[in-house]
Structure 1
Amino acid sequence: MKQLLTVIGLTCTLALSGCQSTYYSAVEKVTGQHKRDILVSRVESTNEAQQEAQQEFKDALTQLSELINFDGGKLAEQYDASKAHYEDSLAAAEDVRGRIDGIENVAEALFDEWQEEIDQFTNAKLKSQSQGQLRQTQRRYNSVIKAMHKAESRMQPVLDALKDNVLFLKHNLNAQAIGALQGEYQSIKNDVELLIGEMNKAIEQSNAFIAQLKE
């Protein structure tokens, strides 16, 4: 409990100062968790968040399919369900974005520390080897984060379309509204499939990156 309170205090103090590198160094001293370990943990949690986001978007697509095939009943209930699925998808997308930011934050601190330590070498051969390892890790990291951002960018068009549908349905709770939305289904379905494909690629690259960091 004491360690937790200490970390919370450090988080508040150093976050206000904007000194993230110092923050991670302080966390390491208190908890023993190195920046590399934090990076691995954050990449793993981002993979999980992407998988959860995939499911939310799939559920929203399923709800849209049910909506356009609506055959009697209370249309207001369909609107409520569509709105709820949109909000769940939005929350999942924001979670993914926040976790990607967290990865970039700790990665920057890790690479800065790594380079600072390389600069302290007196043995040229060892320095060169360590520099090569850093560059290789940075290249793999850049590939992973690029894939994550590419997948993340696929979320907004889907969110925009889902929101448009919810608003249109809210303003037109009638059969004509459903007919108008039928033409949107295939486009959203295609976007969701592209999103899931990009996320799976990002997750695959992330897992390979994690394996390298754990070597």
Structure 2
Amino acid sequence: MHRIILPLVLFSLLFAGGCSKAYYSAMEKVGYDKREILSDRVENARESQQDAKEQFANALERYKSVVDFDGGALEEKYDILNAEYESSEEQAQEVRDRIDSVEDVADALFDEWAEEITQYSSAKLRRSSQQKLSATKARYAKLIKAMKRASSKMDPVLAAFKDQVLFLKHNLNAKAIAALEGELGTIRSDVDALIKEMEKSIAEADAFIQTLE
């Protein structure tokens, strides 16, 4: 599989609003078609979900260390937990952005494929290509559903982390720790559910990438 190394001009096209067509056209001129871009973006999305899974698991461990706090610098514990929350939020946003980029190129690829099917003069080849398109779209629909389901699991975990960070910030004393302990079970359950969904989504990404190779 090709790894896309973007020249500066193509990199700027990627992030310019409304320039997807120009970007894909420019990429095709240097040898990268939409199928390759889709494969790369699915792989990137898979990797970002793997990173998010690890970040949330690490944040949970940090949270547990704060709950188990017994003396020492409480403000330092708050700083640690807040840093983990911010890292988790950043990783979650990267996952969302990666999923958006996958959807963008997939839509462009399927539109192009459908339009090109109408150009066949052979009815047999046209039917065969249509069947391949339908099968690929069905597989993609399963993939993007898994990705979005996993992504949606991040929101309640982030909300719970944010609540506890704010509560700790507003109650920098030993009582706050006792109150946090009651939430640990819920957060652990949410993180476990998130990790399971991430793993399913990663597996779907692996399977989808194989169909493109």
Q: TM-score, normalised by structure 1?
A: 0.93
Query: How many Å separate the matches in 2 of 1:20 and 1:62?
Result: 40
* Structure-2 residue corresponding to 1:23: 23
Q: 1:41-78: CA deviations, max 9, x gaps?
A: 01111111011111111111001111111111000000
Distance of aligned partners of 1:176 and 1:10 in 2 relative to their CA distance in 1, 3 Å threshold:
closer
Q: Which amino acid aligns with 2:79?
A: D
Query: How many Å separate the matches in 2 of 1:166 and 1:65?
Result: 13
1:20-169 mapped onto 2 (5 Å cutoff): 20-29=20-29, 31-169=30-168
Q: Which amino acid aligns with 1:152?
A: S
* Structure-1 residue corresponding to 2:3: none
Superposed CA RMSD = 1.4
| 2:7 is aligned with 1:4 | yes
Query: How many Å separate the matches in 1 of 2:12 and 2:55?
Result: 35
Query: How many Å separate the matches in 2 of 1:167 and 1:180?
Result: 13
Distance of aligned partners of 1:6 and 1:181 in 2 relative to their CA distance in 1, 3 Å threshold:
closer
| Aligned-pair identity (%) | 52
Residue 4 (structure 1) shift: 1.7
Q: Which runs of 5+ in 2 are unaligned?
A: 1-5
Q: Secondary structure at the match of 1:138?
A: helix
Q: What is the aligned residue count?
A: 208
Distance of aligned partners of 1:94 and 1:125 in 2 relative to their CA distance in 1, 3 Å threshold:
same
Residue 19 (structure 1) shift: 5.0
Residue 20 (structure 1) shift: 2.3
Q: TM-score, normalised by structure 2?
A: 0.94
Give the ranges of 4+ consecutive aligned residues of structure 1 lying more than 6 Å apart after TM superposition: none
Q: Secondary structure at the match of 1:191?
A: helix
Distance of aligned partners of 1:82 and 1:11 in 2 relative to their CA distance in 1, 3 Å threshold:
closer
Q: Which amino acid aligns with 1:27?
A: M
Distance of aligned partners of 1:10 and 1:171 in 2 relative to their CA distance in 1, 3 Å threshold:
closer
Residue 190 (structure 1) shift: 0.4
